[in-house]
Structures are given as C-alpha cells and as structure tokens.
Amino acid sequence: MSVPHAPGASGGVPSVPRAFRTESDALGELAVPADAYWGVHTARALENFQVSGVPVAAHPPLVHALAAVKHAAALANREIGALEPHKADAIASACRAIAAGRHHGEFRVDVIQGGAGTSTNMNANEVIANLALEELGHERGRYDMLSPLDDVNRCQSTNDTYPTALRIAVSTSLDGLLAELALLSAAFTAKGTEFAEVVKVGRTQLQDAVPMTLGQEFAAFGTTVAEDTDRLRETLPLLAEVNLGATAIGTGVTAAPGYAEAAVRHLRALTGLDLRPAADLVEATSDTGVFLHVSGVLKRAAVKLSKICNDLRLLSSGPQHGFAEICLPPRQAGSSVMPGKVNPVIPELVNQIAYAAAGADVAITMAVENGQLQLNAFEPLIGHLLLTTVEWLTRGCHALRTRCVDGITANTEHLARRAAGSVGAVTALTPYIGYAAAAAIAKRALATGEPVADLVAAAGLLDRDRAIALMWPSAAGG
C-alpha cells in the first residue's frame, strides 16, 4: 500500500525526482518532502486549509513571536529540569535562527484555519524540531531523538502559546504603526506652521462659516493623528497580559511546577516587552476581548484618517471648478481618456485602507462574540485581520506622509480673494452690532457683492477700519 503524499510534494513534472520521508500521526502515515522542515501535522493542514492562499509566513511578526514563545518555553523547561539541556539548547538555537529571519518559508499553513491555531502551533513545533535535530546531527523527522510534541511543545498547549504569540505579534507590529502615525502628525503640524498666515473661509456642513487660517486646519489634522497615536499606545499594556502556562483551558494541566513563572520571565527578556501573567488564566484563555478593543481603536484611527483624506480631496478639488484651495503633489496620470487629469490617488488609497479596517473590525467582532465556553476557536481569523490592518495602516500612513502631505502647497492668492469677499466674517461683529444687524448686513452683502466692512460703515454701525480689525484677527485665533 502506497503512502499518501503531502500537498505540494509533486506539482507538475519535476525535472529531478524529489525525495520524501514518511511521517505518521494518529490518522496514519504520510510522505513529506525530505527537505521540508515541516512535518505530518503541517501536511494535514495544507490538505485541509486551502482558502486564503496567505501562509502564516506572510506575517513575520507572528512567526517571530511563535519562535520567541517556543524559545522561552525551552529555557523554562531546562531551568525546572523538565527538558534535557542538549535538547533545550538545540531548540533555542532553532528559535534564534527563525528570529533572525531564516526559514520563514517553512511556515506554510493558511492563516485561515480551523482548530484555534493548532495547525500554526504544530507547524512551528515541527519546523523548530527539525532545525534542532539538524543542530544535534540527526536527520529531519527523527522525532525519537527530539520530538515536536514531547520536547518543543512541552508544558504547552496551542491554547496558551498561540494567543500569547498573537499578543506579542500585534504589540510589536503596533510599534511600526505608532512611529508612522507620529511622523504623519508631525508632517501635518509642519504644514500648519507653513500655512499659518494663509487666511481662508472655514465651512460647516459644506456651507461658508467664518474665517480661519489654512494653518489652523492642518494643525488640527496633526492633533487628530496625535490623539489616535495616544489611544493606540494605551492598548500596549493590555496586550502585555499573557496566558502562557495556562495550557488547554487555563488550569495548567501538563505544565510542570514552576514552568509558567519561568516561561513568562524568559519571554519578557527575549521580547523586551513588559509581559505579565494574567491573574485569572481560565478567563484569559477563553477571552479575546483585548483583540476586539485593539481592533476598535485601529478602526477609530483608520476612520479619522479617512476623514482627513476626504478633506484633502475636497480642498484640492478642481483645478478650475472645485474648491482648489490646496494642491496635492501629482503622482500619476489620472485618466485613460481625459488628457491632463490628475487624481488624488494617495488619499483614495488611505480611504480604502480605512474601509478594509472597518470591515475587519466587523469580522473580529463576530469572531470574538462566537467564542464558546473555555476557548475561542476563531483566533486565526482575528490575528490575521488585526495584523493585516496594522500592516496596511502603517504603509498607508507612510504613503500619505511621503507622497502627499509633505508636498502639499496652498493656492494662496485664490484663498485670499475668497476670504476678502467672505460674508461669514460678519459673525465676528455680532457682539458689537447685534445678531439681527449682522444678519441684515450678511444678506445684503450676498445680494450685492459689496464688502461687509463697507456696509457696516455705511449703516453707521462701526467705523470701517474697526470692522476690518474685528473681523480678520479672528482668522488668526484672536
């Protein structure tokens, strides 16, 4: 009877016959490519989960986090005498290689999978075990010498290693997003300074309101981004609470005495994160609320960035028949049929990232809500969507800053002409001439096109120069 081949073992007609090794699990034997570091459990997952086409390797922060968790576990098991030193050292060496960016292509299972992340954990166990076997001078697959389950996964369950790795992966990914958000906020603030003397008409509900400066508008964008940066940073301590040592459902079954404390301590040292064990491991194993919270904060940041991009698109609309208050740097031809047309492609890019973030938040909400009893089986989807959202937002913020905001210019003369004829400036006179008189002046100015200051002076309400002085300092915040 022939041994079934793992998926991907024979695609097309190879020029050189590929060698295989035979591995077995509770379901039977399976032929695995001899040069693969993954094994039978990964092969089963490759058969079962062919959905997104996105492998775990597409999320390097998760691969690094898995390696860190396995590294910490090996060190802890050695410390408490649960794992032979030579095995612990070999496992640690394998984890260091993965942390250095090597062998990521071996993390092949699809990010969308049943089993609460078991396939990802098995994939990590097998890759690390086979790397460790080579370190010890053995062939891949010699699990009698060092086992993916009995050694690499000692004192562990998917249900504590996978969520711990997800928390670390999201936390480290957020570092990059926080840095880009800070730079974007600074870019908007710099434009606020650059445009500090550029007077324009503010608008509420898309109708003319009162004078302001373009600098105030851009400075407000900077403040908005800075606030969302702070809100995201506040999620980091929540992500630092881990359930490592909880094993299957939080009771610590199969974990040796002293393992949990040692594992978290080593993981803290390996990651540089201020990790701490959850106070209630049963609750921490079943609850995924922190991921829902982070998703909500990401959605908030994404939606507010999208609102800013909507404003940039509106303010730059034209060039002849729109607002035309600012110019976005041209990045590419905008039409295959209309010569000379240039579109606001970078803000549009960020808009779509925001829509994806909002959609991801809905899916994460459903996944969190559908966890049952002592475990949430849908953490693979939660993790994939969170990491993707963070990655897209990070890249989107970088593109928005470097390919849009930094190059924005003001149509100063156009803004000055519009501001000079603004009826909304009469609002600043209401404390001096009263609301009714100001409304009458505004109505006449709109009908005749006469300057507000001239009409106020003609009505004997205020001296013309006094009216001008009262109206226009308001644009500078006076």
For the annotated catalytic residues, the residue numbers are 335
The answer for 6, left when phi > 0, alpha when psi is -120 to 50, beta otherwise, is beta
What is the DSSP code string of 382-397? HHHHHHHHHHHHHHHH
Q: Do 58 and 50 contact (CB within 8 A), yes or no?
A: no
CA distance 103 to 125: 13
From 3, 35, 293, select the one nearest 140 (Cα to Cα): 35
Q: Do 288 and 365 contact (CB within 8 A), yes or no?
A: no
- The count of residues in the chain is 478
Task: Scan for tokens 């000055």, then name that residue.
Answer: 416
Q: Do 309 and 400 contact (CB within 8 A), yes or no?
A: yes
The one-letter amino acid code at 251 reads T
Q: Is 110 helix (H, G, I), strand (E, B) or coil?
A: strand
CA distance 28 to 36: 19
Q: Do 276 and 240 contact (CB within 8 A), yes or no?
A: yes
Helices (H), 100-211: 118-135, 158-194
Q: Do 155 and 259 contact (CB within 8 A), yes or no?
A: yes
CA distance 50 to 39: 17
CA distance 184 to 187: 5
The strand pairing partners of 204, in sequence order, are: 207
